[in-house]
Structure 1
Amino acid sequence: MFFPSMKRYYDRWVARIRSLVRAAQGRPVALVVLFGLSLINLSSEWPSDIHRPAFVGAMDEALPDSFKTARQLLFDQYQRRFPRVPTAQPVTIVEIDEETLATVGQWPWPRNRLANLIDAIAALKPLAIGLDIYMPEPDQTSPDKVAANLPKAATGLAAGLRALPSHEAILASSLRAAPTILGAAALDHYVFAASTDLRSAPILVHGSDPLDHVQRFDFVLASLPELQAAAHGEAMLSVSLEQGVVRHIPLIMGLRDKLVPGLPMEMLRLATDSAAIDVYADTSGVQAVGVADVQVPTQPGGDIWLHFASIRTTLSRYVSARDILQGTVDPERIRGKLVLVGLTGSGVTDMRTTALGELVPGIEIQAQVIETIVEGRFLRRPTWLKWAESAFIMAFGLLIIWYVPRPRSRFALFLRAVPRASTVLGVFLHLLNVVCCFFVFVRLGLLVDAASIFIILSAVMGCFFARTLLQVVEQSRSEAPYAQERQDDAHARKTPGP
């Protein structure tokens, strides 16, 4: 008894769906699909200049990454087909690599050894030196720390060690003498030695306060206060990961109730001898971040989409720290450059996946941001572009809903005459959509979401194909008994009588 009731329930729902698909030649279903998918698409990337209704937030939570994943994969393909080719090399990366660790010693180094590296770089006259290195705890190899661990019988030796400057004091002296910037790790949760503040250059806001729009953190893993005070700047190091891939980088961030710069903007501030970083914002969020005469257009969250260059084209920017310490490097590779110091040795570096699908050291991403800013080649996805995409989808979708179901339209007559033409036409239109969006990316650096256009308009067209398919199926079912009768009659005529 259970199965017959289930079958009746199923038949009722099938009948309702059929009636909906048939109603008004399928237009009501197509309208629901068009408006519903368009709203889901907007909820996955809601414009920041409009208040987000509660039901939109609930929809985005119920259908996470509904269109976002397809959009991101498409933008990655744009870059893989047309990666950025560097036209300048303003950045040199001094890498603490395997050769350096084998020659100088394993990481972490005593702070006085790191001071030697900074002194050697500073002697070659760079514009700025950024350290992708955190030093939140005292150096345990410092003379005073070693003295504290000596036995009581070595009182004289301990006194002599305590009379020597600490490794922090030596490093602080080197940081003070060179144009240095310390990096700090942004954290969402507390860890040992984390703090809630950072010594950073002032940020001047022009317009509305953007703090509610930028990426915010509660804690930071920064270097010791003595080292922060000696350096000429400090910046947050953070990348936005989406499904494990780096696609955009914040230029400014929030540390509780304070705006702090990312490393690329702080490097440019120090190199141009500017007193502050400028942020231009309105009620929709951050519009641009600038320093001196450089102004970088951003997304409302203060981040930029990064147009990646292949690591194969940037390997020439790397210099081994061993060569710096041994004095064998060409001085022109450092002079007048923005120098980043980071770890690339196996097991001591953080590797990141770029939109090109390449695994690169984290310091390489910071270098590419600076390079992009210097070249002025930005990828943009402004708010107006989202509205333009939505308007195009609605206009083209409504045109399809109005025109395609008309039985006497040229399109309908053409499809009846050439049944396979619908497939060919659909493929051609979607290829044209992708090619046009890719052309806009190459020429203007705009990220147009061809994926959402394809998905939504295909779904609208699918409503009418479903109606046509349903008619064909019903027609074949209604003709089946007559065909069987004709087949039986033919068989009876061929069979001889008794």
Structure 2
Amino acid sequence: MKRYYDPWLARIRNLLKAAQGRPVALVVLFGLSLLNLSSEWPGNIARPAFVGALDETLPDSFRTARQLLFDQYQRHFPRIPTAEPVTIVEIDEETLETVGQWPWPRNRLASLIDAIAALKPLAIGLDIYMPEPDQTSPDKVAGNLPKTAAALAAGLRALPSHEAILARSLRAAPTILGAAALDHAAFTTSTDLRSAPILVHGTDPLGRVRRYDYVLASLPELQAAAHGQAMLSVALEQGVVRHIPLIMGLGEKLVPSLPMEMLRLATGSSAIDVFADASGVQAVGVADVLVPTQPGGDIWLHFASIRSTLNRYVSARDILQGTVDPERIRDKLVLVGLTGAGVTDMRTTALGELVPGIEIQAQVIETIFEGRFLRRPTWLKWAESAFIVTFGLLIIWYVPRPQSRFAMFIRVVPKGVAALGVFLHVLNILCCFYIFMRVGLLVDAASIFIILSAVMGCFFTPALLHVDKQTRTEATHAQGREGDNDRTGQAP
């Protein structure tokens, strides 16, 4: 094992010593910079095939570190809500205990919508989709009766269906139905969705946004009655929600997310505006609201802690019983969703909190109202790469110089190198965190640290290998002396 290990160690040591380690450092600098760039390739430049292959081979090389760092930004500086445009009417455990288990008959849901509409909200968004007929509807019940109950069955069929009752309520109120985007077909999926027009200004962004082939939506009768349809889908990365699409593709058309569709309905706009160029979507707007986006039509969401948003929740039971303060609903954007145990869709946010899916939709609307957006524009990635390469080349040129002040500092204070490295790392993190707090830019301090540390390691590794060689040589000599003493029988 030793004979196999020593030649390779010697080759590595000689390679790192060549030209004072500069060639290896250059390879490390440009290789890692390319790997970092491939993990987040700017959309305004065609990605070479070998870069795509590199990203597929090492898909989480820098992306995971970047995401975890951005999560830490938010956990140390979560958004503090300053506006309360949203009220969530939650179908919670108390409501289910009082009104009945979920799913409710559609006429019961219609009663809830009527009660909310009576309090004059700006819009009502339902985080609920109903792709199948209500089996408790009178006509469905009539079909299950025995022939001896023909008179009862005829009377039931004369009553309006629960879908008709719900459709009437949806039509009378400013309602929007949610839908779930899917990549695969199922028994109740379709390939189209009734949605408001999306006006594209510039290049067609359909090829840049997240696209789906199927949608799980409510029945056509209900879609026709509601004043809007919208997607409820969120982007998951390793099970965590970090960014939210404002527009998506369904087949060959663009469709809106629930927050944008609610703003469209509340402002009385006929369409949603999308501004795009060759690099992708630049902004999504409605009326006089313009939201800057990532090239894929999504936004990084600056989360507020669920502890600071609990006052936006109103129990559906209180709405149905008429005991809620009308000001909680009047002129608000109302979201209706499930929060009861076992029936809600829970999501993990960048803050590490497990929240109902409806809470994420509310936070998007809240963020748009406050105008506090997190941004990671394309130019920022290029700026980071330029900084890494420039600083890395400066390290490669300056650090190996034997007469430089840095070299003299190392000779005088060997342990000071570690302290200096820690100081520069902390300074890097603090500067990027300050930029996050002040202007909402997500600067990737993790990649800067990883790549520049690797470059510096190219100059320290030969010294470590030299120390390792000396240690093993001394150990070998010590073993030899012990062997000689054993053969002569003398004490060492």
TM-score when normalising by structure 2: 0.96
Partner deviation per Cα, 1:420-478 (whole Å, 9 max, x = no partner): 11000000000000000000000000000000001001111111010222334445677
| Offset at residue 191 of structure 1 (A) | 1.1
Which residue matches 1:429?
424
Residue 164 of structure 2 aligns to a residue whose secondary structure is helix
What is the rounded CA distance, in whole Å, between the counterparts of 2:32 and 2:280 in structure 1?
26
Structure 1 position 318 matched with structure 2 position 307? no
Structure 1 position 447 matched with structure 2 position 445? no
Aligned residues: 485
Which residue matches 1:291?
286
Distance 1:107 1:486, change over 3 A: closer
Which residue matches 1:100?
95
Which residue matches 1:16?
11
What is the rounded CA distance, in whole Å, between the counterparts of 2:94 and 2:479 in structure 1?
83
Which residue matches 2:243?
248
Among candidates 200, 203, 220, match of residue 195 of structure 2: 200
Among candidates 50, 64, 71, match of residue 55 of structure 1: 50
Among candidates 153, 156, 159, match of residue 151 of structure 2: 156
Among candidates 354, 378, 391, match of residue 396 of structure 1: 391
Alignment of 1:37-436 (within 5 A): 37-436=32-431
What is the rounded CA distance, in whole Å, between the counterparts of 1:468 and 1:241 in structure 2?
44
Partner deviation per Cα, 1:213-262 (whole Å, 9 max, x = no partner): 00000100000000000000000110111111000000000001110000
What is the rounded CA distance, in whole Å, between the counterparts of 2:478 and 2:173 in structure 1?
93
| Offset at residue 415 of structure 1 (A) | 0.8
| Offset at residue 64 of structure 1 (A) | 1.5
Give 1:16's aligned amino acid: R
RMSD (Å), alpha carbons? 1.9
Residue 280 of structure 1 aligns to a residue whose secondary structure is strand
Give 2:75's aligned amino acid: R
Among candidates 456, 461, 464, match of residue 461 of structure 1: 456
What is the rounded CA distance, in whole Å, between the counterparts of 1:72 and 1:277 in structure 2?
30
Give 1:56's aligned amino acid: V
| Offset at residue 17 of structure 1 (A) | 1.4
Partner deviation per Cα, 1:172-200 (whole Å, 9 max, x = no partner): 00000000000001101011110000000
Distance 1:482 1:111, change over 3 A: closer
Which residue matches 1:27?
22
Partner deviation per Cα, 1:3-60 (whole Å, 9 max, x = no partner): 7xxx655444333212211100000111111011111101111111110111111111
The range that moved more, 248-257 or 467-476, is 467-476
Distance 1:486 1:205, change over 3 A: same
Give 1:183's aligned amino acid: G
Residue 184 of structure 1 aligns to a residue whose secondary structure is strand
What is the rounded CA distance, in whole Å, between the counterparts of 1:106 and 1:143 in structure 2?
19
| Percent identity between the two aligned chains | 84
What is the rounded CA distance, in whole Å, between the counterparts of 1:474 and 1:334 in structure 2?
75
What is the rounded CA distance, in whole Å, between the counterparts of 2:466 and 2:157 in structure 1?
93
What is the rounded CA distance, in whole Å, between the counterparts of 1:49 and 1:63 in structure 2?
22
Partner deviation per Cα, 1:46-102 (whole Å, 9 max, x = no partner): 111110111111111111211111100000000000000000100000000000000
What is the rounded CA distance, in whole Å, between the counterparts of 1:111 and 1:234 in structure 2?
18
Residue 199 of structure 2 aligns to a residue whose secondary structure is strand
Which residue matches 1:490?
none
| Offset at residue 338 of structure 1 (A) | 0.1
* Structure 1 residues not aligned, in runs of 5+: 488-494
Residue 17 of structure 2 aligns to a residue whose secondary structure is helix
The range that moved more, 355-364 or 10-19, is 10-19
What is the rounded CA distance, in whole Å, between the counterparts of 1:9 and 1:132 in structure 2?
64
What is the rounded CA distance, in whole Å, between the counterparts of 1:366 and 1:473 in structure 2?
57
Residue 463 of structure 1 aligns to a residue whose secondary structure is helix
What is the rounded CA distance, in whole Å, between the counterparts of 1:347 and 1:27 in structure 2?
60
What is the rounded CA distance, in whole Å, between the counterparts of 1:486 and 1:285 in structure 2?
72
TM-score when normalising by structure 1: 0.95
Residue 336 of structure 1 aligns to a residue whose secondary structure is coil
Residue 242 of structure 2 aligns to a residue whose secondary structure is strand
Residue 274 of structure 2 aligns to a residue whose secondary structure is strand
| Offset at residue 408 of structure 1 (A) | 0.8
What is the rounded CA distance, in whole Å, between the counterparts of 1:210 and 1:9 in structure 2?
56
What is the rounded CA distance, in whole Å, between the counterparts of 1:479 and 1:166 in structure 2?
91
What is the rounded CA distance, in whole Å, between the counterparts of 1:225 and 1:485 in structure 2?
88
What is the rounded CA distance, in whole Å, between the counterparts of 2:407 and 2:471 in structure 1?
21
Residue 274 of structure 1 aligns to a residue whose secondary structure is coil
What is the rounded CA distance, in whole Å, between the counterparts of 1:143 and 1:392 in structure 2?
69
